[in-house]
Amino acid sequence: MIAKGKKEGRMFTMDVDSSNSHKFCFTHDNKKIAEIDLWHKRIGHVNIHKLKNMQSHGLVIGLPRFMDKNMQHVCEACQYGKQVRLPFEKESVRSTHALQLIHTDVWGPTKETSIGGNRYYVTFIDDFTRKVWIYFMKNKCDVFYYFKMFKNQVEKESSENIKILRSDGGGKYLSLEFSNFLYECGIRRQFTCRYTPQQNGVAERKNRVIAEIARCMLNEKNMPRCFWADAVFTTVYLINRTPTTSVHIITPEEAWSGRKPDLSHLRIFGCVCYVHIPSELRSKLDAKSEKCVFVGYFLE
């Protein structure tokens, strides 16, 4: 094949040996080797591997034979239109002792305030035992106050010190006062990335479970929504005394305190109960009990 000379319009004439013309493909038949990304776009940005399967298994007619060199081609339109996150792997490394890692998250606000005027709650979860501590708040900014209360309680109970606090990057955890306190106590911080609640999955899932169980208990007895905090309080009490897959063949309460929990005193949330009235508070003909509604336990 020889180029003769330059013509107008930057075109060239060529002499082609007819005996070798079968080596060149100048027609648009179905056997033409085509660029796979061209057909990827023609068929609505179909997955490249699906396109290859369509061609190799003969699922359709009219597709050419594709070259493999562009199999790793990145389609920018697909990145804008179809990109998804990779799945988050379940965390395989667990704490080896109590208070090594604490998960925390804030839930709320609710439309209905509780009996005590609260609209939020914050949970603190020990990674090793998976025991939950919960505190109710009127405002998000109260997180620091309740963290100090939580820290004093658990460190005295366990004779251990909190090593790491894992939370999202919300402003409630980023105040200068909170940061300085953690620095002085030698507590390392772990923050999750924005819009990535999976990185704080332990606290996020626990808050979801707490809200679901509390919702069930309220609806089962048609309790007024203002009792939501009592239902949540009861839920945490029960969660700490029931098994979890994260702690093998033991309840969080026993893993934390070393004592097997006794459930013989449990009653249905919202059931009718009769409370005894001491003799000092009634006359001789007064009723000895008062009809009440059960709304929870004392949370240790």
Q: Which residues pair with 40 in a beta bridge?
A: none
Kindly report the pTM of this predicted structure.
Answer: 0.72
- Report the SS3 class of residue 247: strand
Model confidence at 41: pLDDT above 70:
yes
Model confidence at 99: pLDDT above 60:
yes
Q: What whole-number distance in Å separates Cα of residue 160 and Cα of residue 153?
A: 11
pLDDT tens string 14-23: 655 545 544 4
User: Regarding predicted confidence, which is higher, 171 or 31?
Assistant: 171
Helix 176-185 vs helix 143-158: crossing angle, to nearest 10: 20
- Phi/psi for 279 (5° steps) reads -60, -25
Other Cβ atoms within 10 Å of 23 Cβ, number: 9
In this structure, the answer to whether residues 42 and 186 fall within a common structural domain is no
In this structure, the answer to whether residues 126 and 253 fall within a common structural domain is yes
In this structure, the answer to whether residues 58 and 118 fall within a common structural domain is no
In this structure, the answer to whether residues 241 and 124 fall within a common structural domain is yes
Angle at 266 between CA 261 and CA 268, to 5 degrees: 145
In this structure, the answer to whether residues 186 and 64 fall within a common structural domain is no
What is the average pLDDT score of the chain? 83
pLDDT tens string 223-251: 999 999 999 999 999 999 998 888 888 99
Structure confidence at residue 300 (pLDDT): 56
E strand segments, the chain: 2-6, 12-15, 33-34, 65-66, 101-107, 120-126, 132-137, 164-167, 188-191, 272-276, 289-293
Judge contact between 181 and 144, C-beta under 8 A.
yes
Q: How far apart are the first and last CA of the chain?
A: 92
Model confidence at 33: pLDDT above 70:
no
In this structure, the answer to whether residues 174 and 109 fall within a common structural domain is yes
Model confidence at 104: pLDDT above 50:
yes
User: Regarding predicted confidence, which is higher, 299 or 158?
Assistant: 158
Structure tokens at 155: 């460190």
Judge contact between 168 and 200, C-beta under 8 A.
yes
Banded pLDDT at 26 (limits 50, 70, 90)? very low
In this structure, the answer to whether residues 62 and 114 fall within a common structural domain is no
- Phi/psi for 3 (5° steps) reads -85, 130
Q: What whole-number distance in Å separates Cα of residue 262 and Cα of residue 241?
A: 8
Residue 47 lies in a domain: yes
Of the candidates 175, 202, 206, 191, the one whose C-alpha atom is nearest the C-alpha of residue 103 is: 202
Model confidence at 32: pLDDT above 50:
no
Q: What whole-number distance in Å separates Cα of residue 206 and Cα of residue 200?
A: 10
Residue 262 per-residue DSSP state: P
Judge contact between 252 and 132, C-beta under 8 A.
yes
Model confidence at 8: pLDDT above 50:
yes
User: Regarding predicted confidence, which is higher, 85 or 49?
Assistant: 49
In this structure, the answer to whether residues 76 and 132 fall within a common structural domain is no
Judge contact between 116 and 136, C-beta under 8 A.
yes
Model confidence at 131: pLDDT above 60:
yes
User: Where is average pLDDT lowest: 66-70, 168-172, 257-261?
Assistant: 66-70
Q: What whole-number distance in Å separates Cα of residue 64 and Cα of residue 39?
A: 9
Q: For the residues 197-221, what does the mean pLDDT come to? A: 87
In this structure, the answer to whether residues 159 and 231 fall within a common structural domain is yes
- Phi/psi for 109 (5° steps) reads -85, 160
Residue 173 lies in a domain: yes
In this structure, the answer to whether residues 114 and 209 fall within a common structural domain is yes
Of the candidates 215, 240, 230, 239, the one whose C-alpha atom is nearest the C-alpha of residue 297 is: 230
Residue 106 lies in a domain: yes
The parent domain of residue 15 ranges over: 2-82
Which of 82, 109, 140 delimits the end of a domain?
82
- Report the SS3 class of residue 243: coil
- Report the SS3 class of residue 170: coil
Q: For the residues 33-52, what does the mean pLDDT come to? A: 75
* Surface-to-core class of residue 259, CB atoms within 10 Å of its CB (0-12 exposed, 13-18 middle, 19+ buried): exposed
